[in-house]
Amino acid sequence: MDIKQEIEDFYKKIGQNVKRIRESKNITQLELSQMIGHKSVTIISLGEIGEKKHFNLEHLYKISKALNCKICDFFE
């Protein structure tokens, strides 16, 4: 597997973990978007899919605070 594919898989894993934690807390994409200061679900929706758009560190920090979890939980 080449590095580009590894990075894409890494982004997808982060997105899947954000989705898993969000859903475990019964929070919708819209609610989470609003909690981190966005008006639409686009950033959460695309970030959870892990294609085209990716969460940056600021997003992950804000999401971890909103979901009351550790930022490292997204990388497991």
If you ran DSSP here, which 8-state letter would residue 48 be given?
H
CA distance 22 to 60: 12
Cβ(32)–Cβ(44) below 8 Å: yes
CA distance 31 to 48: 14
Tokens representing residue 54 in the block: 């990716």
| pLDDT tens by residue, 5-35 | 999 999 999 999 999 999 999 999 999 999 9
Task: Report the pLDDT value the prediction gives residue 51, as an integer from 0 to 100.
Answer: 78
Cβ(50)–Cβ(15) below 8 Å: yes
Domains located in the chain, CATH noted: 3-67 (1.10.260.40)
> In this model, does residue 1 exceed pLDDT 80?
no
pLDDT band at 52 (very low <50, low <70, confident <90, very high): confident
